[in-house]
A and B are shown apart, each in its own frame.
Chain A
């Protein structure tokens, strides 16, 4: 059982928008603005897409956006493209002692 809860799967058609939720607790997501999101294609290493809840690293399209409300963070992908089909993982800092960092269980995004 993962520390953060994500839907197992979401889907959307090209050019539509989808939102993936990530629910934690007041000890992780709710306590810190240190939520990050990772995209993982099959057989590949994860790639950072969002950090500090809503910041995008250089090179990540602005179609990807993040937000947080209380203990739930969200990743929104607008203008879906086929290449967005992948697994997405949320991650949160959880304090200065173990476990330090917790991941969600992952969400499979299917572009219809």
Chain B
């Protein structure tokens, strides 16, 4: 079945970068976008951006532009999200989710299990 499996929890110091991976199974990786969504503890969902694995094209929420980079390795059906200049407010669970490559973006399914990123000195 379609499955997204993310890398394990990370602890980073302020100012550092983190790179989270999302390995996909059960479908053709290049046929769907990968989106990234984060959730701070006890808070709601926050969409960060999309990446098209076929073209490598990306689109980021304005809040993250300049700090986030979404990439992929098609040979291993894996997407990556790197967030730089980390601050304590970036402490959250980060999810990858499959989305439609065409527009409009109208669903995210399925989601990865989530990766907890903790930013602490």
Q: Which residues in A have some Cβ–Cβ distance to B below 8 Å?
A: 2, 32, 34, 36, 38, 45-48, 51-52, 57, 89, 91, 93, 96-106
Taking each of A34, A96, A101, A106, which has the highest tally of chain B beta carbons within 10 Å of its own beta carbon?
A101
Number of interface residues of B (CB under 8 A): 27
Q: How far does the alpha carbon of A67 sit from the alpha carbon of B45 in the complex, in Å?
A: 21
Give B96's nearest chain A residue, CB to CB: A45
Does any Cβ of A come within 8 Å of B32's Cβ? no
Does any Cβ of A come within 8 Å of B112's Cβ? yes
Q: Which residues in B have some Cβ–Cβ distance to A below 8 Å?
A: 35, 37, 44-47, 49-50, 59-62, 65, 95, 97, 103-114
Query: Which secondary structure dominates chain B's binding surface?
Result: strand
- A selection of 26 A-B contacts at a CB cut-off of 8 Å is A2-B44, A32-B104, A34-B104, A34-B106, A45-B95, A45-B114, A46-B37, A46-B97, A46-B108, A47-B109, A48-B110, A51-B109, A89-B45, A93-B103, A96-B103, A98-B59, A98-B62, A99-B47, A100-B50, A100-B59, A100-B105, A101-B35, A102-B47, A103-B37, A103-B46, A106-B44
Q: How far does the alpha carbon of A99 sit from the alpha carbon of B60 in the complex, in Å?
A: 7
Give A57's nearest chain B residue, CB to CB: B109
